[in-house]
């Protein structure tokens, strides 16, 4: 009985760990990911309801484009990264076009925060400079 319990506990641990890792894939549907981004931007930039609607559409479009780019790149990680960066840059320009001057300044600061966070966790260029 003790062995069965230990096996179940081990199996549960392995499954929990595997689910927590996420497999490196984006979490949620494009709409869910867009909502998370818009929620973050609303908090930082104080988006209006009209801006939220337009920015949400842009991020849903970005997510769909990134999915296509990921599939097209296959195992070529460098091509996938380049495609993702291009799509993200295009989306950021479209978002900036919807913002007021004050919001644009806050958006630039937000992008710098994100960039620093990526580098600190080793996700930036050259392993975050480490």
Residues in the chain: 130
Where do the domains of the chain lie?
26-119
- Give me the tens of pLDDT residue by residue for the chain, a chain 130 residues long: 777 656 755 556 666 555 555 445 556 888 888 899 999 999 999 999 999 999 999 999 998 888 888 888 888 888 888 899 999 999 999 999 999 999 999 999 999 998 888 888 765 555 444 4
Tell me the backbone φ, ψ of residue 124, rounded to 5 degrees.
-85, -175
Q: pLDDT tens digits for 21-59?
A: 544 555 688 888 889 999 999 999 999 999 999 999 999
pTM of the full structure: 0.68
Residue 107 tokens read as: 């958006």
Give one DSSP letter per residue of 50-102, joined into a string: HHHHHHHHHHHHHHHHHHHHHHHHTT-HHHHHHHHHHHHHHHHHHHHHTS-HH
CA distance 1 to 106: 60
Asked whether the beta carbons of 58 and 97 are under 8 A apart, the reply is no
């Amino acid at each position: 009985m003790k062995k069965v319990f230990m096996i179940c506990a081990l199996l549960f641990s392995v499954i929990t760990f595997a689910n927590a890792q996420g497999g490196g894939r984006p979490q949620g549907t494009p709409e869910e990911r867009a909502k998370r981004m818009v929620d973050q931007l609303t908090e930082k930039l104080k988006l209006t309801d009209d801006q939220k609607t337009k920015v949400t559409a842009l991020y849903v479009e970005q997510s769909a484009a990134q999915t296509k780019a990921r599939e097209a790149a296959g195992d070529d990680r460098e091509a996938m990264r380049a495609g993702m960066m291009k799509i993200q840059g295009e989306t950021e320009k479209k978002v900036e076009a919807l913002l007021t001057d004050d919001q644009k300044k806050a958006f630039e600061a937000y992008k710098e925060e994100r960039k620093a966070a990526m580098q600190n966790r080793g996700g930036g260029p050259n392993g975050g400079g480490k």
